[in-house]
């Protein structure tokens, strides 16, 4: 008997895509959203699915719909503003949890604050289980397996062709820029501003520039490769933009660290950058593709292994991999409890198969 799957945020852009992906896989998720009318309409369109009403602004309403043994997917962002009620409910009651966040500070919260709670209740928490940051976890793990125990550093670069963004993504990015970043350096996760480092990657014969970001890989790759000392996660950008982002995050340091300035900046961002405002069309997504590169290096800087993955549009991949992860978890195939990365949750070979099934493969 499979566990019940709940999709919180079902009527949002990513949630809608994920609901449809779950149904394509033969699942019958319970759709959860704050608008009873909108979620009922979506449920009817998808064949008469069950629904629940919950609002992240009312944490008790979220906790009320989650039961022990459930598999909860949350696509309610920005996660720094609205994500805690869902992960807290899952961790405390003993439900397994996946989300679509790409917000590093929220990911850190899941590992630091809620992972220990989940270990006690038997819940598995798998944050950032979408384009952010499953491909990097997979590419990094494959590169580390090829490199062997001599690998002490792994850098991962994400590159997207013709990417459109949703309102939720733009709101998430705005929020993250006001938070401190982090990175795995010298064997531990340390504070490091977003954009502090830039570097180039060989992307199918072209040198592509990228800027450092606080990804989930800073937690998930050291967990599966104990000899790692440093992890880098980078987002592709034109050289001028990458350098500009690095400078802008340096100059904005006082805003992030002085509470009144941060509050003012946050209020301005919330006014002009809103979530739940739609996203790229199916036609636009069909033209978009991703390439993810991982390099594993030795203590002397020698490149021991390089892995390149190619796949579909980030939103389509996110919806499909969330559906795969949730249905696989519902079948009882998770490998642990607490806060986990994709490889820790499912195993490397199983993750390779799951990603290949939704279009992400090594090239």
pLDDT digits (tens, 9 = 90+) for 45-59: 999 999 999 999 999
pLDDT confidence bin for 313, thresholds 50/70/90: very high
Of the listed ranges 77-81, 94-98, 106-110, the one predicted with least confidence: 77-81
Q: What is the pLDDT of residue 172?
A: 47
Closest CA to 160 of 285, 329, 347: 285
The domain segmentation of the chain, as residue ranges, is 5-131+315-362, 134-313
Task: Please write the tens of the pLDDT for every residue from 259-268.
Answer: 443 343 344 4
pLDDT at 100 over 60: yes
Q: Is the pLDDT of residue 90 over 80?
A: yes
Detail the DSSP E strand segments found in the chain. Answer: 5-8, 30-33, 51-53, 71-74, 96-99, 124-126, 153-161, 182-185, 188-191, 198-203, 206-212, 230-236, 289-297, 303-312, 338-339, 361-362
Q: Which fold has domain 5-131+315-362?
A: Rossmann fold (3.40.50)
Q: What is the pTM of this model?
A: 0.90
Q: Using one digit for the tens of pLDDT, what is the confidence trace for 111-168? A: 999 999 999 999 999 999 999 999 999 999 999 999 999 999 999 999 999 766 655 5
329 pLDDT above the threshold of 70: yes
For 98, the 3-state DSSP assignment is: strand
- The mean pLDDT of 276-280, rounded to a whole number, is 77
Q: In the prediction, which pLDDT does 275 show?
A: 54
Contact yes or no for 74/86 (Cβ under 8 A): yes
- Which pair of tokens denotes residue 12? 């949002």
pLDDT for 124: 99
Task: Give the count of alpha carbons within 13 A of 20, CB side only.
Answer: 13
Domain covering 134-313, topology:
Dihydrodipicolinate Reductase; domain 2 (3.30.360)
Predicted local confidence at residue 237, as pLDDT: 77
Residue 174 has pLDDT above 90, yes or no: no
Same fold, 5-131+315-362 and 134-313: no
The owner of tokens 């309409």 is 41
What letter does residue 2 receive in the DSSP assignment? P
What confidence score (pLDDT) does residue 276 get? Answer: 57
Q: What is the mean pLDDT of the chain?
A: 90
Local confidence band at 180 (pLDDT 50, 70, 90 cut-offs): confident
């Amino acid at each position: 008997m499979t566990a019940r799957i709940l999709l919180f945020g079902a009527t949002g852009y990513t949630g809608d895509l994920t609901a449809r992906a779950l149904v394509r896989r033969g699942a019958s998720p319970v759709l959860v959203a704050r608008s009873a009318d909108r979620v009922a309409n979506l449920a009817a369109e998808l064949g008469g699915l069950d629904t629940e009403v919950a609002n992240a602004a009312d944490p008790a309403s979220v906790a009320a719909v989650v039961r022990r043994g459930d598999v909860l997917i949350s696509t309610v962002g920005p996660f720094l503003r609205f994500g805690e009620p869902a992960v807290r409910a899952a961790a405390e009651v003993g439900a397994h949890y996946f989300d679509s966040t790409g917000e590093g500070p929220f990911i850190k919260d899941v590992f630091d604050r809620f992972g220990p709670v989940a270990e006690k209740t038997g819940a598995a928490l798998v944050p950032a289980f979408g384009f952010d940051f499953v491909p990097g976890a997979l590419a990094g793990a494959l590169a580390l397996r090829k490199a062997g125990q001599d690998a002490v550093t792994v850098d991962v670069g994400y590159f997207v062709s013709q990417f459109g963004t949703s309102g939720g993504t733009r709101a998430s990015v705005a929020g993250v820029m006001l938070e401190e970043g982090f990175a795995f350096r010298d064997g531990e996760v340390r504070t490091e501003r977003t954009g502090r480092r830039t570097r180039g990657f060989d992307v199918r014969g072209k040198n592509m520039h990228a800027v450092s970001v606080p990804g989930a890989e800073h937690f998930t790759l050291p967990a599966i490769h104990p000899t790692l000392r440093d992890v880098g996660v980078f987002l592709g950008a034109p050289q001028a933009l990458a350098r500009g982002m690095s400078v802008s995050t340096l100059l904005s340091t006082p805003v992030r660290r002085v509470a009144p300035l941060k509050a003012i900046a946050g209020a301005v961002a919330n006014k002009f950058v809103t979530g739940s405002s739609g996203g790229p069309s199916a036609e636009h997504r069909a033209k978009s593709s991703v390439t993810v590169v991982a390099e594993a290096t030795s203590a002397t800087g020698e490149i021991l292994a390089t892995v390149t993955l190619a796949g579909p549009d980030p939103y389509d991949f996110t919806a499909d991999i969330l559906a795969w992860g949730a249905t696989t978890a519902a079948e009882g195939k998770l490998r642990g409890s607490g806060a986990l990365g994709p490889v820790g949750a499912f195993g490397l070979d199983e993750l390779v198969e799951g990603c290949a099934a939704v279009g992400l493969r090594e090239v």
